[in-house]
Every structure is written in C-alpha cells, then in structure tokens.
Amino acid sequence: SPYPDSIQLLDSVYKIMLVSYPAQAIGMYEKGKLIRWMPTSMGKKSTPTPTGLFHTNWKSKQTNSTDDSSWVLKWYFNLDNFRGVSLHEYELPGHPASHACMRLYDEDAEWLYYWAEQWKLDSAQVKILAYGTPVIIFGNYDFDQLPPWYSLPSNPKQVEILPDTLSVEINKYLPTILKRQADRDSFIYSKDTLAKQ
C-alpha cells in the first residue's frame, strides 16, 4: 500500500477516505487504521477532479452518466451533488482519464458501496441533517510526466504517501470532520431514540 498502516491523527474518526491525486490511490481508514486501499483513475487534465473535503452523499447500484447517457456507472457513490463528481466502477487505463470522477475496479467499487455512509436530508430533500463518510482529495498530478508507477522498478517508494503529507491535509479539515461526525451521532441517536418510544 502507498498509504501508512496507521495515522494517529485519525484515531477519533470512525471512517474516512484519503484520495491521492499524485498516486492515483485511495486509502480507507477506520479509527486511524488502514483497512483497505485501492487504485483509481481520476480526472484528466481537461476535467480534473476537485480537491478538498467532500462527503459521500447518495448512492445507486447502477446509474447513467450525465455527460453521456450511454455510459453505465455501477456501484455509484456521489460526492458533489451539483457537479456529479463520484466514485464508481469503470475501466482503469493506468492514468487519469475520467471527467472528474474516481474510477474503481468492480470489486473495489462494490466494497466501497456497502462500506461508506450516505448523507441524511430533511423531508424537503434540501438541508443536510447528517453528512456521509468524509473524503479528503489532495495533491497535484503532473500530467506532463509519465505516470509515477512506471518508475516503481527502480524506485519502489515512488508513490509512497508520507505521513507528514497526510498530516498537513488532515489538519486542514479535522475540526470540521469531527464536528460533522458528532452531529451525525446526535442525529442517528435521536432517530433511534424516537423509533424505540
């Protein structure tokens, strides 16, 4: 894995996805422990994947692309409802090739579909009452160079994602992530309490 086995900063975060643009790789952590990682093909130069903090919103086992209705997207999990940025199954050609989405192998996309959490909206389907699983997308991809994994035989650490790099990215968003996690706990707890009464 290009990701470290553990990240102490994330000890209090139930679930999180870290997405490295340079490495084209996603790491899934639960309470600071890496539980799975997967390769991805992110946005090409003309349609880059946005970076920053996102959350998994809504999902569908199968949907059609808004860019081209002939593109069937399996195991779809939305990250940006207004721009259609998502994670889903699609071919991985070995370099960034998407229209801003993060393509995944079928088995990885299916696993993610059941692992990540959806948002909770109000009855009007407008206000977010509880955010889904946090996703931090970070880094810059050098489109003018060969993909970094071409250098792996001579430099096995070419795509290694250093803890210091992750700490900088995580610290930007950690207060927001913990606040939204606490808000989700309160929402879920209140719903469960009402259901039992």
- On the question of pLDDT at 169 being above 80, the answer is yes
User: What is the C-alpha separation between 79 and 165, in angstroms, rounded?
Assistant: 23
pTM of the model: 0.93
Nearest to 16 by CA among 170, 187, 163: 170
Of residues 190 and 87, the one with the higher pLDDT is: 87
Decide if pLDDT at 164 tops 60: yes
CB 136 within 8 A of CB 48: no
Contact 85, 73 (CB under 8 A): no
Confidence (pLDDT) at 197: 44
Query: Which of 47-51, 69-73, 154-158, 167-171 shows the lowest mean pLDDT across its residues?
Result: 69-73
Q: Band the pLDDT of 151: cuts 50, 70, 90.
A: confident
Q: What is the mean pLDDT of residues 98-114?
A: 97
Residue 84 scores a pLDDT above 90: no
